[in-house]
Amino acid sequence: MATEAFTIRAETDIVHQLDSLAGSLDRSRNYLVNQAIKAYLQANAPACNKINQGIAAADRGEVIAHDDVMREMDDLIASKAQGHA
């Protein structure tokens, strides 16, 4: 996989913790930063994509009226209270 260099600024304490962890794991600082970035993207990118899809749908006028949503939620709550799935 191709790589590309970029620079970040981090608090000194974070860099020291990173270096300590890297040493303990016998890994490079670069490896740990890449793993952290990958984990962050995996955790956050899907939600951001869904938000952007929702915004695009709203921009196209594909929305549900608030009252309709609240009515459906009230029906679901009532159904659950009566023991229906």
Most distant CA atoms of the chain, gap in Å: 59
Residue with tokens 């799935």: 85
Share of the chain above pLDDT 70, in %: 98
Residue 83 has a pLDDT of: 81
Residue 74 in tokens: 């009230």
**Per-residue pLDDT reduced to its tens digit, 41-73:** 999 999 999 999 999 999 999 999 999 999 999
What CA–CA distance (Å, rounded) separates 52 from 12?
A: 35
pLDDT at position 71 is: 96
Q: Angle at the Cα of 14 (from 9 to 46), degrees rounded to 5?
A: 75
